[in-house]
Amino acid sequence: MLTSEPQPSGSGFRSLMKNRQFVILWVGQIVAQLADKSFLLLLITLVAAYQPPENIENFMRSSVMIANTLPAILLGSAAGIFVDRWSKKQILWSSNFIRGFITLLIPLLPKELSWFPLLLLVSGLESILTQFFAPAEQAAIPALVKPQNLMSANALFTTTMMGSFVVGFAVGAPLLSWSQTWGGLHGPEYLVGGLYILSALILCGLTIEEDKVDQTLALHPWADLKMGIQYLRKNRLISNAMIQLTVLYSVFAALLVLAIDLAKRVGFEEPSQFSFLLAAAGVGLFVGAAILGQWGERFHHLPLPLIGFMSMGLVLILFCLIEIQWLGKDLSIALSLSLSLFLGIGAAMVGVPMQTLIQVHTPADMRGKVFGFQNNVVNIALIFPLAIAGILVDIFKLRRVLIAMGISVIIAGVWTWRSTRKVLQDAI
């Protein structure tokens, strides 16, 4: 497959930033990710507008989140089939435009309890469209970027994607509050819908040269889905990389739940200050991704994913040794922020090279299926820790859960690395 325009030679961020088409895709992703996180917060706040009885208010909030989550589990893999058949540019801009249009219709919905299922429908439709956007976005990167720049490209995308997951909600909440100062009661809907449409307009500027698919060939979704699964079974390199990404996202999902209790343990006074730990992890992720993106070729001989998993596991265990009674408040907080920083750096060592590997070794006509399946697996990996982490802490206490997580991460890293020892030489 050809890239869409002549690209400058060399690697690193400076070379990548000269690739106008990639920059368009990246900026479009940033705006879309911000819209996604703000949309989830908007859904939760909208429940109050229906004036639910106190005994079902939490159930209604959960229902909205479930409606937004189910399509990710049920349709993630299937959506990738169509990504291989349709224009990726059209999928990218049209899915965002429709998401924006749907969001702008929310103020028109009746806010009576009997009409609440309509909000569930809106939540589900937005999630369905996201399942098409995500694999199309990943499949577009190798179509726009030369192989020597893929590590840098994935460093930026991994930072944006995981960074938005870690700190996106902290940014989204004040944005929604600010939108009410100029947009009134429905300012949040106008803001989120506008962000989606802005992303769509940005992505309209993309030029992606793709291999044309013979549209006369019949579409067999089930057969195409089985083809993608068989490809992953045969290609152990790709499937192992996907397992490592799944473990990575699971750790960060669990960290979102555990961060509040962890913040109290290390000396933060307010529950809301758990966001400082997440922000430190986000900074570490950015630092690690920046180093790999700029100088990744210098580290290709190192077992970066193994180092990353070992670092993450060790950090989780070391969190258990921080006791405010022993160290004092200031030192305890400083150490916890430093550990969070190293956790993020370790995550970058896993996420960036593994995502690059998948893109390099996946044929163009299989990328939609593979990235759709990856999107599916990652979404499931996010849901499971979010559901059980809090319960495990209640039963076994935070210290034991952190130790078990740390040991599990180290074991997973060693096990997967045994099958992919030369992965980085192939990926860069």
How many CA atoms are closer than 13 Å to the CA of 256, on its beta-carbon side? 21
pLDDT at position 25: 93
Both tokens assigned to 299 = 């580290």
Q: Burial code of 34-64, b = ≥16 C-beta within 10 A, e = fewer? A: bbbbbbbbbbeebbeebebeeeeeeebbebb
Tokens, residue 186:
């429905």
Among candidates 64, 38, 31, 68, which has minimal Cα distance to 50? 64
Whole-number pLDDT of residue 424: 47
C-alpha dist (Å) from residue 32 to 24, 96, 314: 12, 7, 34
Region of poorest pLDDT, from 92-96, 195-199, 260-264, 412-416: 260-264
Q: Is the pLDDT of residue 75 over 50?
A: yes
Q: pTM here?
A: 0.77
Residue 426's nearest CA partner among 301, 316, 308 is 301
Q: Which amino acid is at 406?
A: G
- Domains of the chain as residue ranges with CATH: 13-209 (1.20.1250.20), 224-427 (1.20.1250.20)
- Rounded CA-CA distance 39/91 in Å is 20
| Average pLDDT of span 376-383 | 78
Q: What is the pLDDT of residues 338-347, one digit of tens each?
A: 999 999 999 9
Task: Please give the backbone phi and psi of residue 338, each rounded to the nearest 5 degrees, phi first.
Answer: -65, -40
pLDDT of amino acid 315:
94
Which position has the higher pLDDT, 39 or 260?
Answer: 39
With contact defined as beta carbons under 8 Å apart, do 236 and 422 qualify? no
| Higher-confidence position of 411 and 66 | 411
Amino acid 371: pLDDT:
83
Please report the sign of the dihedral spanned by the C-alpha atoms of residue 386, residue 390, residue 396, residue 398.
Answer: positive
Q: Which long-range contacts (CB under 8 A, 24 or more apart) does 175-184 make?
A: 175/34, 175/38, 176/38, 176/41, 176/42, 176/45
Contact 132, 93 (CB under 8 A): no
Query: CB of 283 within 8 A of CB of 270?
Result: no
From the list 231, 282, 240, the residue with the least C-alpha distance to 259 is: 282
**Residue 19: which residues within 8 A CB-CB, separation 6 or more?**
5, 7, 8, 144, 145, 149
Residue range 165-220, pLDDT digits in tens: 666 666 777 888 888 888 888 899 999 999 999 999 999 998 887 666 555 555 56
pLDDT digits (tens, 9 = 90+) for 284-329: 888 888 888 777 667 666 788 889 999 999 999 999 888 766 667 7
The two tokens of residue 167 are 């700190």
What is the model's pLDDT at position 4? 45
